[in-house]
Structure 1
Amino acid sequence: MKYLRSLAAIPLMTAAGICGAQSGSAQVGPDPQLPKPERGLLPDMVIAEPTEWGDKMPTVPEGFTITAIAKDLQIPRQTLLLPNGDILVAEGRGGNAAKITPKDVIAGIIKAKGTSPVKGGNRLTLLRDPEGDGTYEQSVFAEGLNAPYGLALIGNNLYVANQDAVVRFGYQPGQTRASGPPETVTPLPSEINHHWTKAMTASADGQYLYVGIGSNSNITERGMTAEADRARVWRINAQTGETKTFATGLRNPTALAINPQTQQLWAVVNERDEIGSDLVPDYLTSVKEGAFYGWPYSYWGQNVDERVRPQNPDKVASAIKPDYALGSHVAALGVAFSNESMGAEFANGAFVGEHGSWNRREPAGYKVVFVPFTDGRPSGPPQDFVAGFRDSDGKTRGRPVGVTVDPRGALIVADDLSNTVWRVTPTQGSQAAQPDATTEPTALAQLR
């Protein structure tokens, strides 16, 4: 493991590193233990050291098999399963925020070393398995997009959340290429675009799109004017493009999904940095209309972030706690709800893609976890489902982003470091490969 303390032998020794002992199970679940915030001149940084997969593969639980179904992509982010089993992959790299401090410049250079050097594709790639044997063909469905990320299908309309707008393509089942340029549904906040990813899902009735819009800073260092319409979830009328703020105080909601059992909107959110290896936990939460989740004034409910000036005690008093901590700095970027086709152990819950930390002395994330649910709520500790992306020596072969569940029995995982899409399926003959008789193909309609 390579602990980066400087860009040019400049000490990055921060008090944040002292918190390294607070980790593991204490940092996950509905009531994470939160140490005191610690600050230093520059944050601790341990980044990924990219390396090739070679003859290695990610690891999955006994009874499952993992296969690379697409390679040599151009920064795959999120995926969408189409009704006929085809898979769309959004590829791109966005953001145009200028660095405003020397710390930003140093951290940006270091963090970039842990990402793929490939240029973002600004396109949608279609993966198709014509023979049904697990061998997928790749073709470009649409190009010339602007850092596409969120995807949703409602009827015969395919929606794409670019970094600057939601756009719409017409779509017919089995279509392999967009018939023309997309129509703009509504612009999205894109000035500065410190957090550029625009997560998206559709409501269960198909009337609305929900779009996650991240903040323009870590904790308002660009001022509150730059945060107008940021750090929130919008609800958009899918037909008219009319927008409404649905929930606020979500620093960077990077993936959204509807729980098919309850029709409730859920999100994974990346919390703030630079106050310690174990602050602040990223989280999985239901998103309630009109709710405020704390950013920038407080975290995990009403824990005040003293760095933010001026403070707002009334907003802090209204902040609600998220449902479930995933651990500090795991960088959750994907979420998808499971069903019986994934076997009894993984039938009821949410898969979460954890891209991996940079602001921790002991790295966290770099895997896909499964969070079990009971009665529509998280009900147990997360279980590693796809791991092996990073070795103990820091060598990193992949970084998970979006996850999508195929109700016929597969988990699709986008990996934007090795530029691969992985498919995890129950092994033939295993207990996991025997879906409950109640599993219905119509569950495809729930995937956005």
Structure 2
Amino acid sequence: MNNRIILFAHTLLLTGLLLSCGQSKKAESDENTATTTEQPETAQSPDLPEPSESSKHFSNVIGWKDGQMPKAPDGFVVTEYARDLKNPRRTYVLPNGDVLVVESQTEKKGVVKKVVAAVSGQAKAGAVGESANRITLLRDANKDGKPEIRETFLADLNQPFGVVLIGNTLYVANTDGVLKFPYQPGQTKITAKGTPILPLPAGGYNNHWTRNLLANADGSKIYVSVGSGSNVGENGMEHEVKRAAILEINPDGSGERIYASGLRNPVGMDWAPGTNTLWTAVNERDELGDELVPDYITSVKEGAFYGWPYSYFGQNEDPRRKGERPDLVKKAIVPDVAVGSHTASLGLAFYDKTAFPEKYRNGAFVGQHGSWNRSAFSGYKVLFVPFQNGKPSGKPEDFLTGFIANDKDVFGRPVGLSVLPDGSLLVADDAGNRIWRVSATR
């Protein structure tokens, strides 16, 4: 058995080297016609190219040295809020200011999957081992920007991600279902067993195991994001039931319905300030070339279809599903804001405080976890999208950068975002095992 595994690993390694050589030759031939070697520009209405050859370029996470940190614009300061966490992917701020940090990660189970992750380079791009499956509570009692209390708040979960509090009930979304727990303000640990209220299809393509939660203003509805189980439905659409969608339920789990569909991997969700409009950040499909398909943030219309897997960015038909569902392609809605191809845009938080300068108020921050299906890195930063009157009012711009060390290595990977009561912004860096705090200096 061991010899067979070694032979399989060698075969994969040889295949990867051959592909790499082919991609290098293509990069050389394209060099004279390429307009830039920098990360792709972001735009609200991009001009989309034709599909082209796909590349793979996994990052190697080298971590942060003491005193080293990401870079924010002038007028802001970045500090370390917490460290030595295990893949902190999501943060949630309770009404009393306590911060819940969801620690969970991709799990590669089985010898074959582990070998593939190691040979391809995926294992070095982020945590793929045993998930911590816990939620840690951080409390900054004296409000100095550095928590003094750190406790395991909930344990023995199953790849958790989404958290939302309604009254005295805390909801947690595992990869396979939503649970509810009793909660009392100020408590630092929940020992009660969770009550399941909604089963969900488990796991997913790459990191599509995350299930996010968001409640409406009066707590009468909960929205549940579920990513696709595949890249482009290649395993059959019968395996995509209740996936690539945002679901709506009542707080007891009843009344389940699909609120919107065709959203390949909707992760971040938030309400645009001053409106009743739900927005989401969507991680789009792979293997159509460096510049396809743009990830995006979009307002989510009730009952709408956003294209996956049959079309992308509106009615651009995916050649791999050509002619299959022209009726759905015709219905596909164009997203609001493109934020770059293969950026893995997963985090979303609207800025609803006043501590930041005026230009940032009511705008959206987007956590870009970073690319693997592109010849040069894209993402690995936090973007800002300006809004006015509940609608985008300008192009996305860099806000938190400095995660990329060189064309091979990255220090960390930003993902989940939260705004603290004091108006500072928390950024979960899962690969760096840190939480960063960005505050305004004037």
> Mean alpha-carbon deviation: is it higher for 210-219 or for 306-315?
306-315
| Superimposed CA distance per residue, residues 355-396 of structure 1 (whole angstroms, 9 cap, x where no aligned partner) | 001111121110111100011111111122111011234321
Per the TM alignment, residue 258 of structure 1 is displaced from its structure 2 partner at its CA by 1.3
Cα RMSD after superposing both structures? 2.6
* Mapped contact 2:81–2:435 kept (Cα < 8 A): yes
Whole-Å separation in 2 of the counterparts to 1:84 and 1:11: 53
Equivalent AA in structure 2 for residue 47 of structure 1: F
Query: What is the aligned partner in structure 2 of residue 34 from structure 1?
Result: 48
Aligned partner of 1:433 in structure 2 is: none
Question: Secondary structure of the residue that 1:422 maps to in structure 2?
Answer: strand
CA–CA separation in structure 2 for the residues paired with 1:117 and 1:249? 27
Q: Which residue of 1 aligns with 2:175?
A: 163
User: How many pairs align?
Assistant: 419
Q: 2:140 aligns with which of 129, 142, 154?
A: 129
Within-5 A mapping of 1:248-259: 248-259=261-272
Q: Give secondary structure in 1 for the equivalent of 2:138.
A: strand
- Equivalent in the alignment of 1:92: 104
Q: What is the letter of the counterpart of residue 154 of structure 1? A: I
Matches of 2:108 and 2:222, distance apart in 1: 25
Between the aligned partners of 1:79 and 1:353, the Cα distance in structure 2 is 12
In 2, Cα distance between equivalents of 1:29 and 1:6: 39
Q: 1:191 to 1:198 in 2, by over 3 A?
A: closer
| Cα distance per residue 1:7-49 (max 9 Å; x no partner) | 652124359965964787975232111110013xxx3122212
- CA contact under 8 A between 1:168 and 1:182: conserved in structure 2? yes
Please list the CA deviations of residues 263-319 of structure 1 after superposition, one character each: whole Å capped at 9, or x if unmatched. 211000011110100000000000111000000100010000111266110110011
Instruction: Pick closer, same or farther for the CA change 1:106–1:413 going to 2, 3 Å.
Output: closer
8 Å contact kept, 1:22–1:278:
no
Say if 2:433 is the partner of 1:422: no
Q: Which residue of 1 aligns with 2:58?
A: 47
Match of 1:344 in 2: 358
Q: What is residue 438 of structure 1 aligned with on the other side?
A: none
Within 1, Cα distance between the matches of 2:39 and 2:203?
Answer: 38
SS in structure 2 of the partner of residue 295 of structure 1: coil
Report if aligned partners of 2:16, 2:120 keep a CA contact under 8 Å in 1: no
SS of the equivalent of 1:315 reads: helix
Q: Give the equivalent residue in structure 2 for 1:390.
A: 404
CA contact (8 A) 2:266 2:283 kept: yes
Q: Which moved more, 1:12-21 or 1:306-315?
A: 12-21
Q: State the secondary structure of the residue aligned to 2:330.
A: helix
* Aligned-residue offset at 1:151: 1.2
Q: 1:99-110 to 2 correspondence within 5 Å? A: 105=116, 109-110=120-121
Does residue 216 of structure 2 align to residue 203 of structure 1?
yes
Q: 1:244 offset after TM fit, Å?
A: 0.7
1:276 and 2:284 are equivalent in the alignment:
no
Q: Which moved more, 1:282-291 or 1:178-187?
A: 178-187
Superposed CA offset, 1:153-175 (max 9, x none)? 11111111110011111112111
For residues 8-87 of structure 1, what are the structure 2 equivalents within 5 Å? 8-12=16-20, 13=22, 21=35, 27-39=41-53, 43-54=54-65, 55-87=67-99
Cα drift, residue 78 of structure 1: 0.9
Q: Distance in 2 between matches of 1:100 and 1:328?
A: 29
Partner AA of 1:225 in structure 2: E
| Aligned residue number for residue 319 of structure 2 | 306
**Offset of residue 335 of structure 1:** 0.3
Pairwise CA distance, 1:141: 0.3
Normalised to the residue count of structure 2, the TM-score between the two structures is 0.88
- For structure 2, the 5+ residue unaligned runs are 1-12
Bigger drift between 194-203 and 113-122 goes to: 113-122
Write the letter of the residue equivalent to 1:294: G
Change (3 A) 1:23 1:223: farther
1:216 alignment partner in structure 2? 229
State whether residues 20 and 277 of structure 1, in contact with CA within 8 Å, keep that contact through their aligned partners in structure 2: no
- Asked if the contact 1:16/1:277 (under 8 Å) is kept, the reply is no
| Identity in percent | 46
8 Å contact 1:16–1:44 — kept in the other structure?
Answer: no
Alignment partner for residue 145 of structure 1, among 157, 161, 171? 157
For 1:165, give the aligned amino acid: G
| Counterpart pick for 2:369 among 355, 359, 370 | 355
Spell out, residue by residue over 1:63-85, the C-alpha distance to the aligned partner (whole angstroms, 9 max, x if none): 21111111111111111111111
Which one-letter code corresponds to 2:18 in the other structure? I
Within 1, Cα distance between the matches of 2:198 and 2:421? 31
Residue 405 of structure 1, CA deviation = 1.0
| 2:139 maps to amino acid | R
Q: Which runs of 5+ in 1 are unaligned?
A: 431-448
Work out the CA distance in 2 between the residues paired with 1:388 and 1:123. Answer: 28
- How far is the alpha carbon of 1:242 from its aligned partner? 3.0
Give the letter aligned to residue 123 of structure 1. Answer: R
Whether 1:371 aligns to 2:392 is: no
Distance 2:55 2:211 in 1: 27
CA displacement 1:100-145 (0-9 Å, x = unmatched) = 99xx947983222211366421001000012222221211001000
Mapped contact 1:16–1:274 kept (Cα < 8 A): no
Q: Do the aligned residues in 1 keep the contact of 2:346 with 2:368 (CA within 8 Å)?
A: yes
Runs of 4 or more above 6 Å deviation? 22-26, 96-101
Read off the aligned partner of 2:60 and give its amino acid letter.
Answer: E
